[in-house]
Amino acid sequence: EIVLTQSPGTLSLSPGGRATLSCRASQSVTSNYLAWFQQKPGQAPRLLIYGASSRAPGIPDRFSGSGSGTDFTLTISRLEPEDFAVYYCQQYETSPWTFGQGTKVEIK
Amino acid sequence: QVQLQESGPGLVKPSETLSLTCTVSGGSISNYYWSWIRQPPGKGLEWIGYLYYSGSTNYNPSLKSRVTISVDTSKNHFSLELTSVTAADTAVYYCARGRGYVSFDYWGQGTLVTVSS
């Protein structure tokens, strides 16, 4: 099983700031089948990024994904009030598909 | 617009079977992967398994002995059965659509299932 480790656990930033979230895989995700989801309290996760760097339809361009192999990054260039949430990475290359433990982006 | 809606009992007794259905509207169940994912209160996400519309399945080994996912294409819905439940199975259960390279692009709103006597 591929274990995904996200860091940091919590990120405290101000609106307008830049958020950099890390996701490290225990083995290579060779086809870049790596996604990022945003989850707000009481809501289902929402797909932001798939294929490591492709934005899902309707996702603002302040969200970007990068990386390959075992190291992946989600960057939010300028935090809007609605971006404060929990973010999960997920690999869907190797069964069982697995999620990271999440990074909470909170208002500083 | 594709929409997914989970339905089923919110309370299940220990050792019994949890049964949920996900109804898909606004699109066909064909040509996609359909997954169940769960989230214990205050915790992270766990993929339970998927079913391809043709009927083939793939389950998380941690749950494989207790899980069955099935489809009824005539009703455009798919279902989850989880047997011999314990309190550790208490969670919000989500259904989601998977599309190959895209991962989970549509989700239901989730349904809380509590295992308690």
pLDDT per position as a tens digit, A49-105: 999 999 999 999 999 999 999 999 999 999 999 999 999 999 999 999 999 999 999
From the list A34, A33, A63, the residue with the least C-alpha distance to A48 is A63
pLDDT given for residue B13 in this prediction = 98
Cβ separation B45–A33 shorter than 8 A = no
Question: Which among A47, A95, A98 has CB closest to B104?
Answer: A47
- Please indicate whether residue B18 or residue B55 has the higher confidence score (pLDDT): B18
- Please indicate whether residue B19 or residue B55 has the higher confidence score (pLDDT): B19
Min Cα separation A98/chain B (Å): 7
Query: Is 90 exceeded by the pLDDT of residue B53?
Result: no
Of the listed ranges A51-60, A65-74, B71-80, B104-113, the least confidently predicted one is B71-80
Stretch B18-39: mean pLDDT, rounded? 95
pLDDT given for residue B11 in this prediction = 98
Query: Which chain B positions have a beta carbon within 8 Å of A96's beta carbon?
Result: 47, 60-62
pLDDT given for residue A10 in this prediction = 98
pLDDT grade, residue A3 (50/70/90)? Answer: very high
Query: Which chain A positions have a beta carbon within 8 Å of B52's beta carbon?
Result: none
Neighbouring CB atoms inside 10 A of A29's CB total: 24
Min Cα separation B50/chain A (Å): 10
Numbered residues of chain B with Cβ closer than 8 Å to any chain A Cβ? 35, 44-47, 58, 60-62, 94, 98, 101-105, 107-110
pLDDT given for residue A69 in this prediction = 96
pLDDT grade, residue B31 (50/70/90)? Answer: confident
- Three-state DSSP at A90 gives strand
Cβ separation B47–A97 shorter than 8 A = yes
pLDDT given for residue B108 in this prediction = 98
Stretch B78-102: mean pLDDT, rounded? 96
pLDDT given for residue B100 in this prediction = 82
Cβ separation A50–B102 shorter than 8 A = yes
Query: Is 90 exceeded by the pLDDT of residue B81?
Result: yes
Query: CA distances (Å), A60 to each of A48, A73, A79, B1, in order?
Result: 9, 17, 11, 19
Query: Is 90 exceeded by the pLDDT of residue B99?
Result: no
Query: Is 90 exceeded by the pLDDT of residue B55?
Result: no
The residue assigned the tokens 């692009």 is B105
Question: Which among A44, A50, A98 has CB closest to B47?
Answer: A98
A17-48 pLDDT, tens per residue? 999 999 999 999 989 999 999 999 999 999 99
Stretch B12-31: mean pLDDT, rounded? 95
Query: Which chain A positions have a beta carbon within 8 Å of B105's beta carbon?
Result: 47, 50, 56
pLDDT given for residue A15 in this prediction = 96
Q: Please name the residue of chain A whose CA is at the shortest distance from the CA of residue B36.
A: A97
